[in-house]
Amino acid sequence: MTDLLFIKHAAQLITVEGHSGTPAKKQAMSEITVIENGAVLVQNGRILDVGETSAIEAKYPNLIADAKQIDATNKTVTPGLIDPHTHLVHAGTREKEYAMRLQGKTYMDIMNAGGGIHATTRATQEASFEQLYAESKARLDKFLLHGVTTVEAKSGYGLSLEHEIKQLEVAKKLQQDHYMDIVSTFMGAHAIPLADKDNPEHFVDQVINEMIPEVSRRGLATFNDVFCERGVFTPKQSRRILEAGKEHGLIPKIHADEIEPYGGAELAAEVGAISADHLLRASSHGIEQMAVRDVMAVLLPGTAFFLMAEFAEARKMIDRGVAVALSTDANPGSSPTLSLPFIMNLGCLKMGMTPEELLTATTINAAHAIGRADTIGSLEKGKQADITIFDVPNYLTLSYQYGMNHVDTVIKKGVPVVREKQLQ
């Protein structure tokens, strides 16, 4: 018995087609393909066809007669949004640090005083598997309610083999239990534990010799990430960690040039990272190198907004030929949000991206940033039917009426899992 779903009469259906082979760059980031009065026919969780409603109706009358129908009149249909950079699995919140920052303390001051990432590490180490699972599951529900159908999730609040594995196992179980698809990244190199403060090389060795081999042996992560920043991991240490990951089949990612220019973008190009993320202070040379070596820029404007910092130079990156994706950076310290649509608003208003580029950056380019562009990120024949329907008559309204949740329906693998803003 085939499972059929027919979404019809969308005021605008945005396919973002034609970029599955390589990420969209420059002008191609604006080519999103808008079909008016659009329709999608889904069979057994995959997209069977996409086009104008009348054309699809004429082509598949029998299948459509048997299909569950969703009328998207006055609504905008897009590929399910993809968040390629989150710190999903952690315990607790840090609102007191937020208040301290409002009084003038900086993010790094707080971290150097044993707060920041260290505070969340303490809470995460103390948390049971069940507590971490429950907190993270609640976050996934909210992501879904904001139109997101796939997230990347990093470890990095365990900072010991036992607790890093615990975080990654929570992500694995959520992948099995939840509607959301989760792509895991090992980020043991998120901070030097306080106990190793005076001997950081000891921890770097532990990441390289103990954690990476074990995470890889257990098949718990696809990517390996490092926080390359002054006072955290140096470019030299970061390179060792990323090269060690490569030897164990983990693809490099990097938190680069977030607080100050530190050679992170250049390092990403040298080690062949799939993406360099943050880049608020990336150098022009680093941006050029990323363009030459095809390193995706994953930009996190929510972090600049929340840390009251300069935004990344998205315009310059796009114009120089760097493919750009956008993400929440959801985490309890520098970006406590689960709203990718709000991040899209910031992309326009604070980084000069166009509404078309935003859609590319949160769909197909985000899929490329996590190595999934062959199956998700666009509405094309044969792809997984991950689809978001927004209660707006055109895509411009998504970035125009800002800070609101316009999601109406979310379809995951052909199944409506959010309908009229309610989890099903």
Ligand X SMILES: N=CN[C@@H](CCC(=O)O)C(=O)O
**Around Cβ 161, how many Cβ atoms within 10 Å?**
15
303 binding partner (options Zn ion, ligand X, none; Cβ < 5 to 8 Å by kind)? ligand X
Of residues 334 and 378, the one with the C-beta less far from ligand X: 334
Provide the greatest CA pair distance for the chain: 71
Give min distance, CB of 362 to Zn ion, in A: 16
Cα–Cα dist 338/346, whole Å: 14
Cα–Cα dist 82/377, whole Å: 7
Of residues 305 and 395, the one with the C-beta less far from ligand X: 305
Whether the CA torsion 330, 334, 337, 342 is positive or negative: it is negative
Of 256, 246, 195, whose CA–CA distance to 221 is shortest?
246
Q: Are strands 324-326 and 407-412 parallel, antiparallel or unpaired?
A: unpaired
Give min distance, CB of 90 to ligand X, in A: 7
**Residues 217-236 contacting ligand X, CB under 6 A:** 227
Q: What is the DSSP letter of 194?
A: G
222 Cβ neighbours under 8 A, 6+ residues apart: 183, 184, 185, 250, 251, 370, 371
String marking each residue 327-356 x if it binds ligand X according to CB under 6 A: --x-xxxxx---------------------
84 binding partner (options Zn ion, ligand X, none; Cβ < 5 to 8 Å by kind)? none
Give min distance, CB of 199 to ligand X, in A: 22
**Around Cβ 222, how many Cβ atoms within 10 Å?**
18
Cα–Cα dist 63/128, whole Å: 48
Nearest-CB residue for Zn ion: 329
239 binding partner (options ligand X, Zn ion, none; Cβ < 5 to 8 Å by kind)? none
332 binding partner (options ligand X, Zn ion, none; Cβ < 5 to 8 Å by kind)? ligand X
Residue entry with tokens 């249909």: 77
Give min distance, CB of 99 to ligand X, in A: 15
Of residues 100 and 404, the one with the C-beta less far from ligand X: 100
String marking each residue 296-325 x if it binds ligand X according to CB under 6 A: -------x----------------------
Of residues 152 and 181, the one with the C-beta less far from Zn ion: 152
Structure tokens at 51: 């086009």
Of residues 87 and 281, the one with the C-beta less far from ligand X: 87
Of residues 329 and 380, the one with the C-beta less far from Zn ion: 329
Using CB under 5 A, list all residues that contact Zn ion.
Answer: 329
80 binding partner (options ligand X, Zn ion, none; Cβ < 5 to 8 Å by kind)? none
117 binding partner (options ligand X, Zn ion, none; Cβ < 5 to 8 Å by kind)? ligand X
223 Cβ neighbours under 8 A, 6+ residues apart: 152, 183, 184, 185, 186, 250, 251, 252, 253, 274, 370
Of residues 258 and 386, the one with the C-beta less far from ligand X: 258
Give min distance, CB of 136 to ligand X, in A: 14
Cα–Cα dist 207/62, whole Å: 57
List C-alpha distances in Å: 309 to 94, 183, 298. 19, 29, 17
**Residues 91-130 contacting ligand X, CB under 6 A:** 116-117, 120
String marking each residue 249-288 x if it binds ligand X according to CB under 6 A: ------x--x------------------------------
**Around Cβ 109, how many Cβ atoms within 10 Å?**
14
Give min distance, CB of 378 to ligand X, in A: 27
**Around Cβ 189, how many Cβ atoms within 10 Å?**
30
List C-alpha distances in Å: 293 to 214, 322, 325. 30, 9, 16
The answer to whether residue 164 forms part of the interface with ligand X (CB under 6 A) is no
334 binding partner (options ligand X, Zn ion, none; Cβ < 5 to 8 Å by kind)? ligand X
**Residues 354-393 contacting ligand X, CB under 6 A:** none
Name the site residues for ligand X (rule: CB under 6 A). Answer: 87, 116-117, 120, 227, 255, 258, 303, 329, 331-335
